[in-house]
């Protein structure tokens, strides 16, 4: 067993990721496919852009969330804003050529 396996380090998760992905899905579903590119590259780029701007909250999932309700509410508001900006920015300047 290697170090990662001995300590089950893969069980450490960034709690922010799940919220960002859910928010991204919700927001993209509300936008028509004709209005923006939703290819794999663009959507992953949006996710990375948003995640890079939010301080990660790593926890061991078995222990549950360490964050208070108040922090969670603010965090969710921040994530909604940042995901909105990520979609706007990437859809206006996709890494690939515009079709």
Q: Which region among 27-35, 70-78, 79-87, 90-98 touches Zn ion (by CB under 5 A)?
A: 90-98
Decide if residue 12 touches Zn ion (CB under 5 A): no
Decide if residue 37 touches Zn ion (CB under 5 A): yes
Residue 38 or 57 with smaller CB distance to Zn ion: 38
Is residue 90 exposed (0-12), middle (13-18) or buried (19+ Cβ within 10 Å)?
A: buried
Phi and psi (nearest 5°) for 77? -60, -45
| Options 9, 31, 39, 66; binder of Zn ion; rule CB under 5 A | 39
Neighbours of 8 (CB within 10 A): 10
Decide if residue 28 touches Zn ion (CB under 5 A): no
Total number of residues binding Zn ion (CB under 5 A)? 4
Residue 37 or 54 with smaller CB distance to Zn ion: 37
Q: Which residues bind Zn ion (CB under 5 A)?
A: 37, 39, 42, 94
């Amino acid at each position: 067993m290697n170090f990662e396996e001995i300590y089950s380090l893969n069980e450490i998760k960034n709690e922010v990721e799940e919220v960002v992905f859910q928010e991204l899905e919700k927001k993209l579903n509300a936008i028509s496919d004709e209005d923006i590119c939703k290819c794999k590259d663009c959507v992953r780029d949006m996710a990375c852009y948003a995640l890079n701007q939010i301080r990660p909250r790593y926890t061991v999932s078995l222990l549950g969330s360490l964050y208070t309700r108040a922090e969670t509410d603010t965090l969710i508001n921040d994530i909604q804003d940042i995901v909105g900006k990520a979609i706007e920015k990437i859809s206006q300047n996709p890494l690939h050529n515009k079709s």
